Structure 1
Amino acid sequence: MTRPLEVGVVGCGVAGQALSVLLAEAGHRVTLFERFAEPRPVGAGLLLQPTGLAVLEALGLGAEARARGARVVGLEARTSGGRRVLDLRYADLHPEAFGLGLRRTDLFDLLFARLRRSRAQVITGREMAGVERMQLVEPDGKRHGPFELIVAADGTNSVLRGALMPSLKIPLYRWGCLWATVPDPEGLGASGLLQQRVRGTTHMLGLLPVAPDRLTLFWSLPVQALARERAIDLASFRREATALWPQAAPAIERATQSELARATYRHVSLPRWNAGPVIFLGDAAHGTSPQLGQGANLALMDAWALARSIEESGNLLTALIAYERRRASTIRYYQRVSHLLTPFFQSRKAPLGWLRDAFLGAAHEVPGVRGLMTSTLAGTRRGWFASVPLDAAGRYPLS
């Protein structure tokens, strides 16, 4: 872009913070609005893939993220009886490739400190209810702007999306999770694997290393059991989770004694990602179930792709078209695969569990299928028939 843009960003999550830094440091005048007086992360832990890690490196945060997090070498899912369901290793893509388990608080702290060092203006305690004439409007009618570009990065339950696309249906997945990050003195995460245990489609327990001495535990539950007005049945959780995975009993016991976070998810699929010069980013544009663990990675890549498209384009319209071309095939692929896989792990459809257990493990041995699975995990797919190869150092090449 040949001149600075006036940009309003709504939402201080992963996408909003990363984009604000990238645009502000490219010389654009960026104002980020956050509805909380003190911005804070939601959730317990996440898995950064080579894609997300590449963006953190570009932001100058890679080394600190690696110091805080835990190196993850792959994903292993087994039934309660020990039968292999998934066994994927980043080394199949490149010997130096890895994921990074990280607490959401750590990722937020890194991005927020980076945001504070940039030239972006951050205004907290302001909820935006709509857009009129390229001004952001609060519920009481107070206006901000006008802006040349407005970015709605206000999450899965985006208020701006609801205001601009009121007829759009954003269904809630019928299953969610309990999350907790706990100490790991027994070294359950020492293998460097994201480990899961499943029984049918109704029971799933996962352990993700997120720091040298910490694990994030997640336990699958129907959304009815996660309602805010309902108390969590800790005795049932402890009993059922321990029966599913006895070796994880210490982590389960610590989770029942900590503050458990409840998480539900929506399937967000927009007919378009922009309403004129208002563009949706991250979960506001393409929220999915966490089955593939791609949320933060897609958000970081969205921010990078939009900033790069603006930098390379002569005007805003061209930039938005270029952004869609950059992201469309990847987003479409991950939305479809996540939506397809979810019922095989979280549903009341028992036959899907039988099919998963019978065929998914064997599918690893089919030529080409293992590579497809591993590159899907790593976030490098651009569709069913295309993937971006890692570079000579095992890193994702940003473009």
Structure 2
Amino acid sequence: MQVLIVGAGVGGLALANGLVADGHRVRVLERSAGPRTDGAAVTIFSNGAAAAAGLGVPLDGLGGDVETLEFCTPDGRPFARADLRVLRRDTGYGVATVPRAAILERFAAALPPNTVRYGCPVADLQVRPDGVTVAGETGDVLVGADGYRSVVRHTVLDESPAVRNGWVSWQGLTRALPRLAGDVHARCLVGPAGLCGLMPAGSGLLQWWFDVSGPAPRDRPVLEWLRDRFASYAEPVGELLAGLSGSDVQAYPHVLHRVPTRWGTGPATLLGDAAHAFPPSQAQGANQALEDAWLLRRALRTPDDPVDALRRYERTRSRRVRRISRLAASEITNRPPGVLTRLAGRALSPTLTARLQLARIRSCSSVLNDDDG
């Protein structure tokens, strides 16, 4: 089968690896001129790690392992703690923060030469009952993995675009706070100003972000505004901000799609943010894209009509991803915790907190539930 994938992001390249291993002919069409190096880091939870391994491109050795995750009030007092080692014991896969560029490099390197066609924006996209044509390439199946502004989604669904919900992550991946960057402990401080997250990403790098509701003022530098906004937060927030430059800070607006049950028409479907963009507050965006790729590969292994296989894949994944999309859209982790939340967090052991988190991940996971494609 000839499969055309639009988009050489995490989901698109992961899928390409799985399909090539199954003997399909694959072409990935990417509009950027070369391999993408933009973006900071992503948190790969057990479901994403299991999906990548199942696609033949395990992420072992990349990024920084995260064994504990702590949520604190702005004065630095913890109100919840999760022992993430539980996830590895229960699933065989742990949690790591991995630079996005490192994931893309590993996935691209595992593909046969010339699988990815760079500098190829989507053009002349045609979907017929018996096949597809994109930018002069013909295939039996088309997969849109081209992000939340997906051209493929607009063509095959005619759906409304993803909308911003007012939150923005001001984020970066830098060498900072070596004590934290070299540790296995992640920390989030959340209060009226928003949330500050700090996660080790390996090789001395720290993934940091500030989730804030509302835009930054236009009359002053973003970094100066962040320093003032989070001035009351406990260290090391001030130390981090004092050591950054304006070029270190990237804006990541939070967007949300309605997640339909059907993601395409005929021999065309969607994957990742093209199908179901949602805010990063649950750290499941890249994981869900990997889940999509895992199940779509499994669906296309069957000798049935690929159109039927695509619709089965969409029904299963839409049911799973809709759950985490709703939770992420609530931005609950970015809001100051109420009294009951703080009391419950302190009452639960780190082990039990991690088990509750794993149960939430399982509810949106195809790979951990061995869904049938």
**Into which bin does the TM-score normalised by the smaller protein fall?**
0.7 to 0.9
* Counterpart in the other structure of 1:25: 21
Instruction: String of CA shifts for 1:186-219, please: whole Å, max 9, x gaps.
Output: 312454232111112x421111111141101101
Equivalent residue in structure 2 for 1:238, among 223, 227, 238: 227
Q: TM-score, normalised by structure 2?
A: 0.86
* Counterpart in the other structure of 2:266: 276
The DSSP-based 3-state class of the residue aligned with 1:246 is coil
- The answer to whether the Cα contact below 8 Å between 1:130 and 1:160 also exists between their aligned partners in 2 is no
How far apart are the structure 1 equivalents of 2:355 and 2:263?
A: 27
* Counterpart in the other structure of 1:375: 358
How far apart are the structure 2 equivalents of 1:103 and 1:153?
A: 19
* Counterpart in the other structure of 2:145: 153
Do residues 295 (structure 1) and 285 (structure 2) align? yes
Shift of the 94–166 alpha-carbon distance from structure 1 to 2, 3 Å rule, reads closer
How far 1:374 sits from its partner (Å)? 1.4
Do residues 357 (structure 1) and 363 (structure 2) align? no
Matches within 5 A, 1:127-206: 127-129=121-123, 131-134=125-128, 135-137=132-134, 143-184=135-176, 186-200=178-192, 202-206=193-197
- The answer to whether the Cα contact below 8 Å between 1:381 and 1:387 also exists between their aligned partners in 2 is no
How far apart are the structure 2 equivalents of 1:373 and 1:387?
A: 18
Q: TM-score, normalised by structure 1?
A: 0.81
- Aligned amino acid, residue 375 of structure 1: L
Instruction: String of CA shifts for 1:338-387, please: whole Å, max 9, x gaps.
Output: 123x15626xxxxxx3xx3312233344799846631156x32248xx99
Do residues 309 (structure 1) and 299 (structure 2) align? yes
- The answer to whether the Cα contact below 8 Å between 1:24 and 1:119 also exists between their aligned partners in 2 is no
How far 1:112 sits from its partner (Å)? 1.6
* Counterpart in the other structure of 2:118: 124
How far 1:250 sits from its partner (Å)? 3.3
Matches within 5 A, 1:241-256: 241-256=230-245
- The answer to whether the Cα contact below 8 Å between 1:73 and 1:99 also exists between their aligned partners in 2 is yes
- Aligned amino acid, residue 209 of structure 2: F
How far apart are the structure 1 equivalents of 2:8 and 2:64?
A: 24
How far 1:294 sits from its partner (Å)? 0.5
How far apart are the structure 1 equivalents of 2:367 and 2:304?
A: 29
- Aligned amino acid, residue 264 of structure 1: P
Instruction: String of CA shifts for 1:87-120, please: whole Å, max 9, x gaps.
Output: 22223445465201111121121112123xx377
How far apart are the structure 2 equivalents of 1:217 and 1:177?
A: 10
- The answer to whether the Cα contact below 8 Å between 2:150 and 2:274 also exists between their aligned partners in 1 is yes
How far 1:258 sits from its partner (Å)? 4.5
Equivalent residue in structure 1 for 2:205, among 214, 225, 230: 214
Do residues 73 (structure 1) and 67 (structure 2) align? yes
Q: Unaligned regions of 5+ residues in structure 2, if any?
A: none
- The answer to whether the Cα contact below 8 Å between 1:72 and 1:100 also exists between their aligned partners in 2 is yes
* Counterpart in the other structure of 1:393: none
RMSD: 3.0
Segment drifting more, 173-182 vs 310-319: 310-319
How far apart are the structure 2 equivalents of 1:192 and 1:375?
A: 19
How far apart are the structure 2 equivalents of 1:136 and 1:176?
A: 36
How far 1:59 sits from its partner (Å)? 4.5
Number of equivalent positions: 364
Segment drifting more, 234-243 vs 293-302: 234-243
Instruction: String of CA shifts for 1:36-62, please: whole Å, max 9, x gaps.
Output: 111314321111011111233235543
How far apart are the structure 2 equivalents of 1:301 and 1:61?
A: 13
* Counterpart in the other structure of 1:333: 323
How far apart are the structure 1 equivalents of 2:31 and 2:325?
A: 28
Shift of the 158–360 alpha-carbon distance from structure 1 to 2, 3 Å rule, reads same
- The answer to whether the Cα contact below 8 Å between 2:69 and 2:186 also exists between their aligned partners in 1 is yes
* Counterpart in the other structure of 1:267: 256
How far 1:162 sits from its partner (Å)? 2.0
The DSSP-based 3-state class of the residue aligned with 2:5 is strand
- Aligned amino acid, residue 182 of structure 1: T
- The answer to whether the Cα contact below 8 Å between 1:30 and 1:120 also exists between their aligned partners in 2 is no
How far 1:220 sits from its partner (Å)? 2.1
- The answer to whether the Cα contact below 8 Å between 2:295 and 2:367 also exists between their aligned partners in 1 is no
